Amino acid sequence: MSVLQIIDRPSPNFDARTRPIDLVVLHYTGMQNAEIALARLTDDTPTAGEFPGPWQRPDVLKDAPLPRVSAHYVVDEAGAVYRLVPEEHRAWHAGAASWEGEGDVNSRAVGIEIVNGGHDFGLPDFPDEQVASVIELTRQILKRWDLKPHRVVAHSDIAPERKSDPGEKFPWKRLADAGVSIWPKALVHADIADSDPVIRAQERLAKLGYAVKATGSLDPQTRYVVMAFQRRFRPSSITGQIDDETQAILAALSLQMPRY
């Protein structure tokens, strides 16, 4: 068990929760370094000129206001944990998102931002010290709120059309091995008699919590959801296609979580 170094760096960007905590959402910061990310997450009047980057149009005005954002915690590359918002309050990290058919994920989630440049900056590896702190922090949050490992999700899980963090390099299996996330065990291959594999996959994805409808068609929304699922559970091949291996992983996870 790691001993966490927690540093208070209060953010004014929060409000009141409207429901109990039942999720932990993991993000990457997607910014140049920890200090810039911390500055952005604690700024109550952010402007485009203060936080330039590839996410902005080149003609944006420097004084253009940016949305106020925050998270409950930030974990830097060395494993230091910054506490920005008390867990009892609603931080602003999820944005437009949905899980288990409900929006306003911020009201029910604890948000952890992991310092990493993300896809805009080459998607660096996550250092071992950082991952160890994320594991211990997540373990403590789950214990504090009496939550099970399947209540830990990715930002890309809850907002698959908009987000891809913490990304395909994030070591979800390491978290699962530590008991703070889920990972498929023995794969369960699809029944060849299944005449509606797309519907079956959509139903399983929806039961896991993803925002997808059982249309029987590999529509754009389904593709985004499948890519988010693969980014987390089959990061070696993120195709958006419901292939046999994706079906097998879905089936395995369904069996591991009978409540679904």
Residues noted as catalytic = 113
Tokens representing residue 53 in the block:
């980057």
Task: Please state, in angstroms and as integers, the Cα–Cα distance from residue 56 to each residue in 47, 49, 61, 120, 203, following that order.
Answer: 11, 10, 10, 11, 37
Tokens representing residue 175 in the block:
């978290």
DSSP state of 7: E
Q: Rounded to an integer, what distance in angstroms lies between the CA atom of residue 158 and that of residue 155?
A: 5
In 3D space, the residue among 89, 239, 230 whose CA is nearest the CA of residue 157 turns out to be 230
Question: Amino acid identity, residue 146?
Answer: D
